[in-house]
């Protein structure tokens, strides 16, 4: 055997020995590799579980935030509703108190209205006797109204005040109206001229006679023919047939 052959055989022996050693080592590492693979697979599964749990936590957190926001909104809404309820309760208390007050006022206002109507009747009787029937009828209607249950106290009070307002207006207006008046025992058609409550004068249709109410004697007195033109002028002014102008009329001075 040559030297080269011997060397080749030696290298072959070494290579085979090394190959056997590697195979043995690989075989010895197989359990470790298998275990590492199992660990990696287990770790991957664990990571997947962690990811799933994290996703679930994120979802729950979002749901919690949404519910918490809704709860906060409901708290604000409920607080506002509570304020409205408290305000309505206060209004109910005020309304009940007002109703109680109205009952008291109603018990007090009825006697007051009765006294006002009585005073109005006395005033009409003592006043200048213009539109006597109309004014007396108004008082009678008010007295009859007070016995009616179908008219609310507020409406009764309104009508009484309205009657007083009408009487007040008489004191600052100029008015002409027709009527019957007894002159020297004979009933005549006349025109009445009322100047506020200052003067009440009549004139016959032919303007031949005129007279005035004397507040002191509470009787009618004849006027001289010198007042004919002024009385006629006043009647035309009251009927809107003539522009307002100065009138020279007799005025009875009260004591």
The pLDDT profile of the chain, 255 residues, written as one tens digit per residue, is 555 555 555 555 555 565 555 566 666 667 766 777 777 777 788 788 888 888 888 888 888 888 888 888 888 888 888 888 888 888 888 777 776 666 677 778 889 999 999 999 999 999 999 999 999 999 999 999 999 989 988 899 999 999 999 999 999 999 999 999 999 889 999 999 999 999 999 999 999 999 999 988 899 999 999 999 999 999 999 999 999 889 898 876 655
DSSP letters, 15-73, are HHHHHHHHHHHHHHHHHHHHHHHHHHHHHHHHHHHHHHHHHHHHHHHHHHHHHHHHHHH
What angle in degrees, to the nearest 10, is found between the helix axes of 153-170 and 3-126? 50
What is the model's pTM?
Answer: 0.59
Q: How many residues does the chain have?
A: 255
Q: How far is CA 102 from the centre of its chain?
A: 19
Structure tokens at 143: 């007295």
């Amino acid at each position: 055997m040559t030297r080269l052959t011997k060397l080749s055989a030696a290298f072959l022996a070494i290579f085979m020995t090394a190959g056997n050693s590697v195979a043995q080592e690989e075989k010895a590492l197989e359990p470790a590799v298998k275990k590492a693979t199992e660990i990696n697979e287990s770790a991957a599964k664990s990571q997947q579980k962690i990811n799933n749990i994290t996703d679930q936590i994120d979802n729950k957190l979002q749901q919690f935030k949404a519910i918490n926001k809704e709860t906060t909104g409901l708290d604000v809404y409920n607080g506002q509703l509570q304020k409205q309820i408290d305000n309505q309760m206060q209004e109910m208390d005020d309304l009940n108190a007002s109703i109680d007050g109205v009952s008291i006022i109603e018990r007090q206002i009825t006697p007051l209205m009765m006294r006002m109507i009585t005073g109005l009747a006395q005033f009409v009787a003592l006043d200048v006797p213009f539109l006597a029937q109309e004014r007396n009828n108004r008082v009678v209607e008010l007295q009859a109204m007070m016995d009616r249950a179908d008219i609310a106290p507020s409406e009764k009070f309104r009508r009484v005040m309205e009657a007083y307002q009408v009487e007040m207006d008489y004191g600052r207006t100029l008015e002409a109206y027709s009527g019957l008046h007894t002159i020297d025992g004979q009933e005549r058609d006349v025109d009445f001229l009322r100047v506020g409550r200052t003067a009440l004068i009549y004139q016959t249709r032919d303007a031949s006679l005129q007279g005035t109410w004397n507040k002191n004697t509470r009787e009618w007195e004849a006027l001289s023919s010198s007042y004919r033109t002024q009385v006629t002028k006043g009647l035309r002014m009251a009927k809107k047939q003539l522009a307002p102008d100065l009138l020279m009329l007799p005025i009875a001075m009260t004591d």
